[in-house]
Structure 1
Amino acid sequence: MHIPRKAARTVAVAVTALAVAAAVAVVGPPVLADPPAGVTPATGDIVGVGSTTTRDVMNRYSTAYDAQNPTPSRKLYSWDPGQHSLPPKKGCVNVTWPTDSDTGIRALHNDAAAYNTSGVCVDFARSSRYPDATRPEDANKTFIAFARDAMTWAAMPVTPKRTPKNLTVTQLRNIYLCVLTDWHNANPALPSGPIQPYLPSGSDTRTTFLRALSNSGDANGPNPSLTPGSCVRQPAAVESDSGVSLQVNLRAGDTIGNVLMPYSAGAWVAQSRGGDAVDLRNGFTVRQIDGVPAAIPDVAAGAAGPYSLNPNGRLPRLLFNVVKNNPANNDLAAVSASYATVFGKAGYICTHPLSADRGFLSLPTSGTGPRCGDKYGLGSAPPSSPQTGGQTTGGWLITVYYTAVEGFHHGPPQQVRGCPRQECTFGADDLGTYPTDFVQAVRDEGAGRITSGTRAGTYLNWSYDTGYWLDAIPADTAGHRLEPFQTAGADAATLGRGTRFTIASCGMALDGSPVDAAGCTRLRAATWTVRDEFTPGLGGDKHIDLYIGEEDRVNFTASPLYLSGVGARITVVG
């Protein structure tokens, strides 16, 4: 028995221990925005500016920190973005407050005195993006992680329904490249209607979202941010994580029911829970990406709250507070003791996890994967996967997939329509006529090599969000060639793209019998790299799919290599 690679089912999302840790509340009096009225921070206080995304969270932390008994000798303050032109501290000149991570880090960078010395006006910057080598202001900075968020997309439910509950990363990429422009083509169950994509102007939500779309969902991937197409609406006044702002700035002729926008899932959850987070949703709901909900329970499926952030969100990102490195040695480890008291592993933030109504999930202080207080800089960017090198874990399901070969199939002829190139979705061009069992194998496995006619040597590819298309290669989800005994597929929440691993044990066959020894030996001899993704609903926790190349015989699915194993063990090697 083998699990078909393209079979559809509902993704089961597990709530991890991270969500349990986040249930501990930050204690303290009611939160206040900015320093209290009439208060100008003292010269020695710790003052921050920057990201809108983490504004409310850091306001809460600063209020609770300053209310400790005994009172800290250096109080903590976090100025709201873009509201003032005031001195950040006594003795400092008036400044207009930064509005996002970029301008916050730039203000920290431009403060000539900023490294825990007298005359410092900006001690830290709030950031909801990773260190970026293309930004000069990120040099000689320490990004200190404290919480987890996930990016997603949001739309307003209307009647009749115009937008789907789920889009894939590929579909979102094509929407923001203006390749996919009709909701019916995104989901044939929907009526035809123009897709009207919006982006907030100059925010870290925008930057992170576009970076993730350019890197198959990895917001810290190597490719630069996606350049939006000409159809993307980018009004200068549209604020991040705000359906209210989008409604006010809706382009003339657009319909709110056709609109989508990126949204911080953590910010949406916080807005839905009330408290000190202002509810800016305006009816917008966060939706699924690749079948993975942004919130638990799943509002996209109509579930009622209270909601929490899904720790397995499809476009994860870390949240940081950024300080300058010690200019004497420029060492990430050399964060001053006074800053570590607030931001370090044993500091106030890491020892006072966020409550669920804050939206974001506090990082744990121990274990594998990103931890609260971990320090990053250029050249030491956060990992895209919680797995760590050298770790062997059990309980995996392993399956295999392959490229079909037309010459081994002899069923009745079937015409195939689709796209002559991967530049459209669900096209209607005539792509040729092939054996029915070959066409089905392409749909099951994802690709097949054509061996007859004028298209011999090219590949018929299929994806649930694109349909059929012709290509010069058997393609993975990023459009790169599948490599036999190298390429593996996994959900991003299970193993991040680029993770390398080996098979330590193939486990048992699905019926409880031993797996084929020769087939398992071939799989164990290889080193695999996650470069592909499951059709949403097919993957799930601890499921990996191994690409074994082209079929080499009739009835290839009866060969020793075409196996499934439960209870397998894998070793992550990088």
Structure 2
Amino acid sequence: MRKTAAKLLTVAALATSLATVAGGTAVADPATGVTPRAIDIVGVGSDTTQSVLNQLAADYNASLTSSTSPRLYSWDAIPAGTITTKTGATAITRPNGSGAGITALNANTSATVDFARSSRGPVATDPTTDDFVALAQDAVSWAAKSGGNAPANLTTANLKGIYSCTITKWNQINASLPNATIKPFLPQTGSGTRSFFLTAINGGVTPLTPGACVNSSVQENQGSDTQLNDINALVPYSVAHYIGQVYFGKGTGADVQGPLTIRNIDGNAPVDTVNKVISDTFVATQYGRVVYNVFRDAEWNATDAHGTALRAIFGAGGWICTNGATDIQSYGFLPLSPFACGSVTHS
């Protein structure tokens, strides 16, 4: 799989970008009473990037001066049920997660879904006709209840042992830790964060198959889940999403860190707490990732009005890559350099 180069803006430049307040107001799903038109550009999928896409959509739409220009909309990963994504579309089950979003993209046409939000990159099982267009830089670490039995740091080997269920007690990691049963959690099947994390702790090639001790019933990046309010629980967590929740007040309702604090891996802290960004050191490990929006290749490369609109919003030199840095950073992500933002990767 070809890797997208992800050269980042400097921390100083990012801090400066935050001095400008993003215009517009993000909403969950299209605003009440608003049904996207057939010509509008509509996405579904990842929980991790839904909030930043909502904000980008609000600000992009506010920038338009013509009522006939396609608007940008993004449907959240939850609540469960069916959604009619745009006027004239057939109702579909709401896709929850990157995998479900990509499946919906490939099962439908632009009459229903134009793109899928994805917090993972392409894998061998994805159609080669899917274009993964780079959006921003993220990373994945793990989180646990503040004051619980989990240590401040776990190694990659520790995490692999925990999620394969060969390490089941904290004192197997360190004799000074309690003789208590570890409770490992994963996001729902289809989550890009789940897929990425299991691959990272398994050497970066294929995802680890979780053991029978692992509970896969939590929604990703929601520390409010009562199951996680346990002194022995741990769960993978998007570093950007955590930063947005903790430092920039982006979490609302169930989408908050709750009692969880994000922890180190292999001695590397995921958050630069001084600058309130993902740590450069952590990004450089196998736990750094690029998040994407996925398009059908034929539409992405089309010379018609639809293809032109897709590239004008998401492509290199498009609206997001030239105007979206403040929104991206305010949700905890790192903007990509102009050389990486909008670049295309295939499986």
Question: What TM-score, normalized to structure 2?
Answer: 0.87
- Extract unaligned runs of 5+ from structure 1: 1-15, 115-119, 298-304, 379-574
Residue 340 of structure 1 is aligned with which of 295, 302, 311? 311
What's the counterpart of residue 97 of structure 2? 100
Matches within 5 A, 1:297-336: 297=273, 307-313=276-282, 314=285, 315-326=287-298, 336=307
SS across alignment from 2:235: strand
> What's 1:62 paired with?
57
8 Å contact 2:141–2:263 — kept in the other structure? yes
Instruction: Tell me which residue corresponds to 1:510.
Output: none
1:77 corresponds to 2:53 = no
1:362-401 matches, within 5 Å, as 362-366=335-339, 371-378=340-347
CA contact (8 A) 2:184 2:235 kept: yes
Deviations 1:150-193 (A, max 9, x none): 110111122xx622111111111111111222212313332332
The equivalences for 1:219-258 within 5 A come to 221=205, 224-235=206-217, 238-245=218-225, 247=226, 249=227, 256-258=230-232
User: Alpha-carbon deviation of 1:208?
Assistant: 1.0
Instruction: For residue 27 of structure 1, report the CA deviation from its aligned partner.
Output: 2.6
Q: Please state if 1:287 is matched with 2:287.
A: no
Residue type of the partner of 1:49?
V
CA contact (8 A) 1:56 1:277 kept: no
User: Residue 271 of structure 1 aligns with which residue?
Assistant: 245
Q: Structure 2 unaligned runs (5+)? A: 1-7
| Matched residue type, 1:141 | D
Per the TM alignment, residue 18 of structure 1 is displaced from its structure 2 partner at its CA by: 4.0
Aligned mates of 2:320, 2:134 — CA distance in 1: 10
* Alpha-carbon distance between aligned partners in 2 of 1:88 and 1:180, rounded to the nearest angstrom: 44
Deviation at 1:296, TM superposition (A): 1.4
2:35 matched to 1:40? yes
**Superposed CA RMSD:** 2.4
Cα displacement string for residues 74-115 of structure 1 (whole angstroms, at most 9, x for unaligned residues): 11011112335232111112222111111111111111x33x
Conserved 8 A contact 1:214-1:225 = yes
Equivalent residue number for residue 182 of structure 2: 195
Structure number with greater Rg is 1
1:51 paired residue number: 46
State the distance in 2 between where 1:21 and 1:316 align: 20
Structure 2 residue 137 is the aligned partner of structure 1 residue 148: yes
2:122 matched to which residue of 1? 131
* Residue identity opposite 2:335 in structure 1: S
Determine the structure 1 residue equivalent to 2:166: 179
Could you tell me how far apart the structure 1 residues matched to 2:214 and 2:133 are? Answer: 33
Q: Which amino acid aligns with 1:311?
A: D
Query: Residue deviations 1:239-263, cap 9 Å, x none?
Result: 1111212x2x46xxxx811111111
Alignment match, 1:19: 11
Q: Which residue of 1 aligns with 2:331?
A: 358
Amino acid in structure 2 at the alignment position of 1:81: A
TM-score, normalised via structure 1 length: 0.54
Structure 2 CA distance for aligned equivalents of residues 21 and 93 of structure 1: 44
| C-alpha contact 1:178 1:232 (8 A) present in aligned 2 | yes
Higher RCO (C-alpha under 8 Å, 6+ residues apart) = 2
**Which one-letter code corresponds to 1:277 in the other structure?**
G
- Structure 1 residues 212 and 46, CA, compared in 2 at 3 Å: closer, same or farther? same
More helix by share: 2
Task: Give CA deviations for 1:450-503 in whole Å, capped at 9, x if unaligned.
Answer: xxxxxxxxxxxxxxxxxxxxxxxxxxxxxxxxxxxxxxxxxxxxxxxxxxxxxx
Do the aligned partners of residues 347 and 284 (structure 1) sit closer, same or farther apart at CA in structure 2, a change above 3 Å counting?
same
Task: Determine the C-alpha separation between the residues in 1 that align with 2:309 and 2:62.
Answer: 17
CA distance in 2, matches of 1:256, 1:92: 43
Deviations, residues 4-63 of structure 1 (Å, cap 9, x unaligned) = xxxxxxxxxxxx744344442573222122111101111111111110100000000000
Instruction: Report the secondary structure of 2:193's partner residue.
Output: helix
Contact 2:9 2:336 in 1 (8 A): no
Alignment match of 2:194 (pick from 190, 193, 206): 206
Aligned to 2:5: none
SS at match of 1:44: coil
CA distance in 2, matches of 1:332, 1:152: 38
Structure 1 position 234, deviation (Å): 2.5
Is residue 18–residue 362 contact of structure 1 (8 Å, CA) maintained in 2?
no
- Structure 1 contact 18–311 (Cα < 8 Å) conserved: no
Match of residue 4 from structure 2: none
The one-letter code matched in structure 1 to 2:209 is T
SS, match of residue 294 in structure 2? strand
Kept after mapping to 2: 8 A contact 1:193/1:258:
yes
- Measure the CA separation in 2 of the matches of 1:293 and 1:106: 34
CA distance in 2, matches of 1:179, 1:261: 17
Distance 1:99 1:348 in 2: 26
Q: Deviations over 1:351-400 (max 9, x none)?
A: 1213543111111113xxxx10110012xxxxxxxxxxxxxxxxxxxxxx
Equivalent residues of 2:301, 2:307 under 8 A apart: no
| Contact 2:302–2:308 under 8 Å retained in 1 | no
Q: Per-residue CA shift, 1:499-548, capped at 9, x if unaligned?
A: xxxxxxxxxxxxxxxxxxxxxxxxxxxxxxxxxxxxxxxxxxxxxxxxxx
| 1:133 Cα deviation after fit | 1.3
Q: Is the 8 A contact 2:137 2:333 kept in 1?
A: yes
Asked whether the equivalents of residues 332 and 376 of structure 1 are also in contact (C-alpha less than 8 Å), the reply is: no
Structure 2 distance, partners of 1:60, 1:275, is 14
Aligned to 1:67, what secondary structure does the other structure show?
Answer: helix
